[in-house]
Amino acid sequence: MLANCPVCNAHQSVEVTTKTEEIPYFGEIMESTMLCSECGFKHADTICIDPKEPVKYTLTVGKENLNSRVVKSQSTTITIPEIGLKVEPGPQSQGYVSNVEGVLNRFEKAVKTAISWTEDDQVKKNATQILEYLEDVKNGAKKVTMIMEDPFGHSIIIDEAAVKSGLSEEEIKKLKTGFTTFENDELELDNDSK
């Protein structure tokens, strides 16, 4: 399929391809790619399309389970409440397969980026304390709680100590999914207008 380029606006210059396949833990996925023959714009995305029940995983993280497998879908919120870290999905959110240490490393990278962007000394001090805490977790001196909440049920923490539970309707409503949606009651449409 051909489409107009969202970057250079060239007419019918973007080739769009999609395919579906089965991936362990994720189920059926759809991969899509876009490539502009004019400006070189590229975009790839992977979307889980198997319906699953909303899920929440909670794991106490310490040095002993840093290698536990983590499968995170693009719609997952990950929280570490002890240090106030929370990553919510956005339009560019992607799924990945990693381990617990890999997730902690991603948090560290995000905190380091925040430090480089701010000029506020208190923010830098707090961020440095978060980095030290995460390092203590990886060294076995401290523990944290990792919470993964996925309204589409495509995420998992593979560890015997991980507690799996469902999500209530109220919890689901509070979660971001990374997808842009409009609910009819939010649009405030006037059905009588012409």
Per-residue pLDDT of 58-77, as tens digits, reads: 999 999 999 999 988 888 99
- Burial of 157 from C-beta contacts in 10 A (0-12 / 13-18 / 19+): buried
Alpha carbon distance 78, 107 (integer Å): 10
Q: Which helix (H) or strand (E) holds 55?
A: strand 55-61
Residues 6+ apart with CB under 8 A from 170: none
User: Is the Cβ–Cβ distance between 95 and 46 less than 8 Å?
Assistant: yes
Handedness of CA 31, 55, 162, 178 (dihedral sign): positive
pLDDT, mean of residues 98-112: 94
pLDDT over 70, % of the chain: 90
Q: Of all helices (H) and strands (E), which one includes residue 123?
A: helix 121-139
Q: What percent of the chain has pLDDT over 90?
A: 58
Residue 128 pLDDT > 50, yes or no?
A: yes
C-alpha–C-alpha distance, residues 163 and 184, integer Å: 35
Q: Say how many C-beta atoms besides its own lie within 10 A of residue 148's C-beta.
A: 23
Give the three-class secondary structure for 180: coil
Select from 75, 21, 14 the least CA-distant residue to 41: 14
Q: How confident is the model at residue 145 (pLDDT cuts 50, 70, 90)?
A: very high
